[in-house]
Structure 1
């Protein structure tokens, strides 16, 4: 990504504050935002998944699969 293609800090803040980008108030969904892990609605809490970004969703699914696998195989 070229530096001129990166959104400005103002644009990132506008996307983050736009309620249309938050489904049910907790799920971030913005096709324009290419970040894999944008900040949560309350940024001091951490990061969330951008469900409009396929890499972000894949990372989320892989993480869930690993957690479930560890839980299932560690109990044996």
Structure 2
């Protein structure tokens, strides 16, 4: 993975969208803030949905 992704590949400055990048995970525009998903990949949306479902399940179990 590259250390600094192209800034023009970010939508609204926060969503990384690069269909030419084969990686699912890329560094954020400001590398101090970690990593982000490449939303040009369908697997990114599946990952987000699964994460949301896990959070909802944990909330329901703890309530």
The two structures share one fold, judged by TM-score above 0.5:
yes
Matches within 5 A, 1:25-36: 25-36=13-24
- The alignment covers a number of residue pairs equal to 63
TM-score calculated relative to the size of structure 2: 0.80
Runs of 4 or more consecutive aligned structure 1 residues displaced over 3 Å after TM superposition: none
**RMSD value, Cα:** 1.9
Higher relative contact order by CA 8 Å / sep ≥ 6: 1 or 2?
Answer: 2
In structure 1, the gaps of 5 or more residues are 1-6
TM-score (norm 1): 0.69
Going by fraction, where is helix more abundant, 1 or 2? Answer: 1
